[in-house]
Amino acid sequence: MRLDSVRGDRIANTAQQIPVAFANVDASAWLDIARVAHAQGGRLIAMWGAATSGSMRSVSAAYECVDGVLWVQFVADGGYPDLSTLFPCASRMQRAIHDLTGLRAHGASDWRPWLNHGNWPGDYFPLLKEGAGVERFESCEMNYPFVQVAGDGVHEIAVGPIHAGVIEPGHFRFSVVGEKVLRLEERLGYVHRGVELLFERTPALAGHRLAGRIAGDSTVAFAWAYCMALEQAWRVAVPACALRMRALLLERERVANHLGDLGALGNDAGFAFGLAQFSRLKEDWIRMNERVFGHRNLMDRIVPGGVAVGIAPEHVDAMGAQCGQISRDVAGLRRIYDEQSGLQDRFSGTGHLGAEVAAHFGVRGMAARASGQSFDVRAALGVQPYDAVQIEPASDTRGDVAARVAVRFAEIEESLRLIQAWLAAPANGPLSIAVAPGDSAARGVGWVEGWRGDVFVALELDAHGAIARCHCHDPSWQNWPALEHAIIGNIVPDFPLINKSFNLNYAGHDL
């Protein structure tokens, strides 16, 4: 689907922002657009609800188009047509919309609560304006009706929501025969923090700080997506040097996470040597972040209008040398991983996710590219500064843990190449530009290829420059249901390995 195929308003954008069309629709057009998007291979990026003063409520959907993003909004006080029959990933989003706004999708088959775990009454909706955030309730954990599997020898294994160590809470309900998994159902939403309401109480020029704290492992991706949306809304052109610096930070974030995951995957398969070596490389990598940019995880380095810090001349050569050393070390470790028979026996064929299933759930990012889906926001839309480099998205068709490991290795190498290219680019020019609020209500969209997949931000600002609504979307919304499918037919002890091969987000998913 292309943006010009839908009647709507173009949101102002530059070569450094995502092309966006916005359309206000009725119930009929809401469903028609979804059908066209589905028929033409489009993907539902995100769904979210909003409430204004009084009883007015709306629901929005963002669709991935060939040439950008289509943002559709429907004033839906009486509810709105269900999209889950066309886009299965919509089901949990619609459940979250109901928990927050009270809006129901007509025709939806699943109305179990998603974010509300008994922390507020069923007739209280946090995003409604009147009294939002004032009430206090006694928490009362509700009995959640997991789908049950019947049959001879079938029993359930409940894991979580409390896990060992620092793992965030999530409940996994396995239906098994012996060790073989017949079904997995997840219950998440335990770390809902009210981020969306908090955005409405945050100055627009400080929103990047909140966005960057949605998920600590994706702070660069969320902060850049927020700033991109703000800059589009207020028609700000970021200096070229600052854009290159943002991209460099994003690739450093990608490398850090892939290094950590490759070590953890080796460890989950009983290969502790891999954990030790990749942990050493990741530690060296993030120590360089602190040395050059002042923060190990690069938090608050991206700001509206540009970046908060540049690279001192004496650090350019050090970073380039580190990229070369990491490249050599990772290549050597990849040979070891490929040649370690015990490791490959655990990786190969485990947690298979086929291309059709990945497309069915709308999976994106590293997990999709390991299942034959090659989409990458950086390559597909080529916004600055990615338009000046030839992005080569890593891909694999096997769809198993081995494929997701191989994609991580390939993405590290590609990110190192991009970092070195930007280090070699001219460093002259401003690193930021002053950002002044607009004088009218405005919208903007940010869409960034984070290390886990595409991070999306939809921002609405009022005529005074305050945040009226900000919705941030993590690709884990689409990828968690796919994980439920990937475990089917595997044995229970393989779940930690399969789970780590996706490494999905709890906090960024729950907001």
Walk along the chain (511 residues) and give the pLDDT tens digit of each residue.
787 777 778 887 788 899 999 999 999 999 999 999 999 999 999 999 998 766 689 999 999 999 899 999 999 878 999 999 999 999 999 999 999 999 999 999 999 999 999 888 888 899 986 655 556 777 777 789 999 998 999 999 999 898 877 788 999 999 999 999 999 999 999 989 999 999 999 999 999 999 999 999 999 999 999 999 999 999 999 999 999 999 999 999 999 999 999 999 999 999 999 999 999 999 999 999 999 999 999 999 999 999 999 999 999 999 999 999 999 999 999 999 999 999 999 999 999 999 999 999 999 999 999 999 989 999 998 899 999 998 989 999 999 999 999 999 999 999 999 999 999 987 788 999 999 998 899 999 999 999 999 999 999 999 999 999 999 999 999 999 999 999 999 999 999 999 999 999 998 888 8
Q: What is the pLDDT of residue 504?
A: 96
Contacts of 141 (CB under 8 A, 6+ apart): 117, 118
Report how far residue 162's alpha carbon sits from residue 232's, in angstroms, rounded to the nearest whole number: 41
Q: Tell me the CA distances in angstroms from 249 to 132, 299, 379, one per residue in order.
A: 36, 10, 17
Residues whose CB falls within 8 Å of the CB of residue 80, separated by 6 or more in sequence, listed in order: 27, 30, 59, 74, 103, 104, 105, 106
Q: What is the DSSP string of 376-417?
A: -HHHHH--TTGGGS-------SS-SHHHHHHHHHHHHHHHHH
pLDDT score, position 6: 77
Chain centroid to Cα 299, Å, comes to 17
pLDDT of residue 135: 67
Residue 304: predicted pLDDT? 98
Tokens read off for 319? 């970073």
Note if the pTM is more than 0.85. Answer: yes
The CA distance from 343 to 444, in Å, is: 46
What separation in angstroms does the CA of 370 have from each of 21, 352, 404?
30, 10, 5
Q: Compute, in degrees rounded to 10, the torsion defined by CA atoms 123, 109, 454, 172.
A: 80
pLDDT at residue number 12: 77
CB 221 within 8 A of CB 251: no
pLDDT at 459: 98
Provide the pLDDT for residue 3. Answer: 79
Give the domains, in start order, of the chain with CATH numbers: 3-115 (3.30.460.80), 193-236+441-473 (no CATH), 238-434 (1.10.645.10)
So what's the pLDDT on residue 54? 61
Tokens standing for 152? Answer: 């001879």
- Tell me the H-state helices in 87-162: 90-101
Half-sphere exposure of 269 (CA within 13 A, CB side): 26
Look at residues 191, 149, 184 and name the one whose alpha carbon lies nearest to residue 170.
Answer: 191
